[in-house]
Chains A and B, each alone.
Chain A
């Protein structure tokens, strides 16, 4: 049976087109997903992301446990509320999931992991936690709303309870503040400024409706996907999975190699890969007409082949873009096999749009 977030009725009242997304009945759009996309780039939009999984890691050994569990190093987190993006690897360095971990204090951390990987993540984390003095608490009764766009902060702060609005107005990007069960992170998945707000389920519908009243546009998973693709952010299950390691997924920057004696899960397998030439993770812009899609074949000038992992239409650039895993010999251009025809594409860094601006130089 498909699961529903606490906002399911609110989406239906707004006339959302609903789809099954990893077992959850979620809104894909509320009308035009391109309009929703532009609204986030230019003003502010909101997404129900309550299907995502919040896991609290508490205990005297919370820090050493997370240093072992994650490929990035939580000791980088020194300020209360500071957040870190990391992969969680298996023994062969395959990516079990990507996640955000927030530092509350030395014995309390909060992780937000993907919805589609919830069961295997929890099983893995609980298994690895065995020898450590920690508790692993999933928080299924918390809802989560992402409010994203250049006007997100000015719309959200006045609606937060008590003094939380003042704190939220002050926090830096990739930081969080909280009050009771309300937790506000200045994070997101769109390439725009904004907040991800974790709150008690029984407050979620009221907060959603308050945001609607002040003009925040509801946006679905369709716009969320084009926004993250333009921002060059990987999607788990498409751009990486357990058969791929971070170095061939454009995520080498999230692996903390120092200190050298930190033994995180997957480290030894990853060290071996580090010494060889791995596939590269690149951005592509289609120069011909058409639309790039996941699984299309990339043909290099030397005849070697790669694969598009995520592709689609960029509403901001009004052309098609993609993320692709390709051999390291890739040049400045390549060809893409679209229904048997080879189309011309330009190779770029995998970050197309940030903060409303196109990042590609020749644009």
Chain B
């Protein structure tokens, strides 16, 4: 299962963080995470304008089985959320790396991304888990 995109970074709490051309960071959960959770049925999105610190709980995804906190991979301000997940949380199951993104942060310091794992590092992390 080597379908982990190498254009972004990964947290060991199973979020991905993609630095975009405008300097903002798009965040979602990994394919591995959605598979562990199973069918997603609810997403509690953060609020636009909300300030978050690196490692803060800022969103919750719930599958039929369980609720799981989403931690912000960087410090900054939420500038956009994926509203379509409110009605169709299952998009995360089908497209965790694209349509299933959860929120976008305007980061204070993109150097915080350096603390995260590369794609291959994340893959070996999940294999050992």
Contact = CB atoms under 8 A, between A and B. Distances in A.
B42 A226 contact: no
Given A289-B42, A291-B42, A312 B64 contact: yes
Contacts of B86: 289
Q: What range describes how many residues of B lie at the interface?
A: 10 to 19
Interface in A312-342: 312-313, 315, 320, 339
29 contacts: A17-B38, A28-B65, A29-B38, A32-B39, A32-B93, A33-B38, A33-B64, A33-B65, A34-B39, A34-B64, A222-B38, A222-B64, A226-B64, A289-B42, A289-B86, A290-B42, A290-B44, A291-B41, A291-B42, A291-B62, A291-B67, A293-B67, A313-B41, A313-B64, A315-B64, A320-B41, A320-B42, A339-B44, A339-B60
Q: Is the interface of A mostly helix, strand, loop or mixed?
A: mixed
Interface string B43-81: 010000000000000001010110100000000000000
* Among all A-B residue pairs, the 10 with the closest Cβ atoms: A313-B41, A291-B62, A34-B39, A313-B64, A291-B42, A32-B39, A33-B64, A33-B38, A33-B39, A290-B42
Contacts of A17: 38
Nearest to A315: B64
A222 B37 CA distance: 11
Interface in B80-103: 86, 93
B42 to A, nearest CB: 5
- Most B CB within 10 A of own CB, among A28, A29, A291: A291
A222 to B, nearest CB: 6
Contacts of A313: 41-42, 62, 64
Contacts of B93: 32
B9 to A, nearest CB: 27
Interface string A148-180: 000000000000000000000000000000000
B91 to A, nearest CB: 14
A102 to B, nearest CB: 32
Contacts of B44: 290, 339
A300 to B, nearest CB: 24
Contacts of B62: 290-291, 313
Nearest to A32: B39
A33 B64 CA distance: 8
A29 B67 CA distance: 17
Most chain A CB inside 10 Å of its own CB: which residue of B38, B44, B62, B86: B38
B57 to A, nearest CB: 10
A312 B64 CA distance: 6
A340 to B, nearest CB: 12
Interface in A71-86: none
B23 to A, nearest CB: 32
Nearest to A221: B65
A293 B65 CA distance: 10
A313 B67 CA distance: 11
A289 B38 CA distance: 19
A17 B44 CA distance: 26
Interface in B13-58: 38-39, 41-42, 44
B51 to A, nearest CB: 19
A65 to B, nearest CB: 40
Interface string B91-117: 001000000000000000000000000
**Residue among B42, B44, B64 with most chain A CB within 10 A:** B64
